[in-house]
């Protein structure tokens, strides 16, 4: 039984802004959590962090088509708005913004946003379309909501840095906050795509964070990063992953490569690997 009042839903930018204006007139602070829906505990952790930081919280649910390539899972990506709304209400959210594709990308839409720096390499090497799509939709959402703070998960660490750089470069006044990755009892990073995994694949997936943790210790000991990355790559294949897109240790601040091939500043290890048709990403501090 739902113990929470129905969460108000705005489906247009005009409706969203009308509600936000009312809050602003009352002097209330505003936080924002963008999502693509299919919510799990990781998303709700972001909402609770937003509640902690502001008087009112807006969460968006929008499966953004511009960040999916033609061969990716746009059509099958899980959509369950009613359940998402109930979970958001339980976490303390005050408004759900759930626009249509037509509302976000009306006829004649042609604008693109390109972010350099932290978008280079890693995900871009395998999904060259991805950060362009992310940058456009997040720029629009930040402009539409105009929150004081927006909370993003560190699970998508490269995305977090891309959004932070974009907001800084474009003078978007919203503070971009990263929230630590939420994991299950085996250490697997929570993800909507985990639902695609069979039981056998799930057992393999739960070894990803262990391989990264071992590699992170080696990297922190200033071992040559080429060897650390190569060994972690091999260990993921031994663990049962069918394909590994990358394992990389980069500077935590901007994802730049360590010039001397060893860790000499705060670092992050990042990986992407495949089980069947499911692509998993994860990262952790070094």
DSSP 8-state assignment for residue 188:
P
Helix 130-145 and helix 157-169: axis angle, to 10°? 60
Of the candidates 94, 136, 105, 80, the one whose C-alpha atom is nearest the C-alpha of residue 10 is 94
H/E segment holding residue 26: none
226/109 Cα distance (integer angstroms): 43
Assigned token pair, 132: 């362009």
Task: Measure the CA dihedral 256/261/267/268, to 10°.
Answer: 80
Of the candidates 252, 20, 71, 15, the one whose C-alpha atom is nearest the C-alpha of residue 154 is 252
Q: Which of 4, 40, 43, 186 is catalytic?
A: 43
* Tally of CB atoms within 10 A around 162: 26
- 43 catalytic per annotation: yes
| Active site (catalytic) residues | 43
């Amino acid at each position: 039984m739902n113990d929470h009042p129905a969460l108000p839903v705005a489906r247009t930018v005009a409706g969203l802004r009308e509600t936000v204006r009312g809050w602003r007139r009352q002097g209330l602070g505003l936080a924002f959590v963008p999502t693509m829906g299919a919510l799990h505990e990781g998303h709700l952790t972001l909402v609770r962090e937003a509640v902690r930081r502001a008087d009112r919280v807006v969460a968006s649910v929008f499966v953004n088509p511009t960040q999916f390539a033609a061969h990716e899972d746009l059509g099958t990506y899980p959509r369950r708005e009613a359940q998402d709304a109930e979970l958001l209400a339980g976490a303390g959210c005050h408004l759900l913004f759930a626009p249509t594709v037509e509302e976000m990308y009306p006829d004649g839409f042609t604008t693109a946003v390109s972010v350099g720096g932290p978008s280079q390499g890693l995900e871009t090497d395998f999904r060259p379309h991805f950060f362009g799509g992310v940058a456009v939709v997040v720029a629009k959402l930040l402009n539409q909501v105009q929150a004081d703070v927006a909370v993003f998960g560190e699970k998508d660490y490269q995305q977090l840095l891309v959004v932070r750089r974009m907001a800084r470069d474009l003078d978007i006044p919203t503070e971009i906050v990263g929230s630590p990755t939420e994991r299950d009892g085996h250490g697997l990073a929570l993800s909507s795509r985990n639902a695609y995994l069979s039981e056998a694949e799930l057992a393999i997936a739960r070894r990803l964070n262990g391989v990264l943790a071992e590699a992170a210790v080696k990297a922190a000991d200033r071992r040559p990063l080429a060897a650390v990355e190569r060994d972690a790559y091999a260990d993921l294949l031994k663990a049962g992953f069918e394909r590994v897109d990358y394992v990389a240790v980069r500077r935590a601040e901007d994802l730049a490569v360590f010039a001397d091939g060893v860790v000499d500043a705060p670092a992050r290890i990042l990986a992407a690997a495949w089980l069947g048709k499911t692509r998993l990403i994860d990262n952790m501090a070094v």
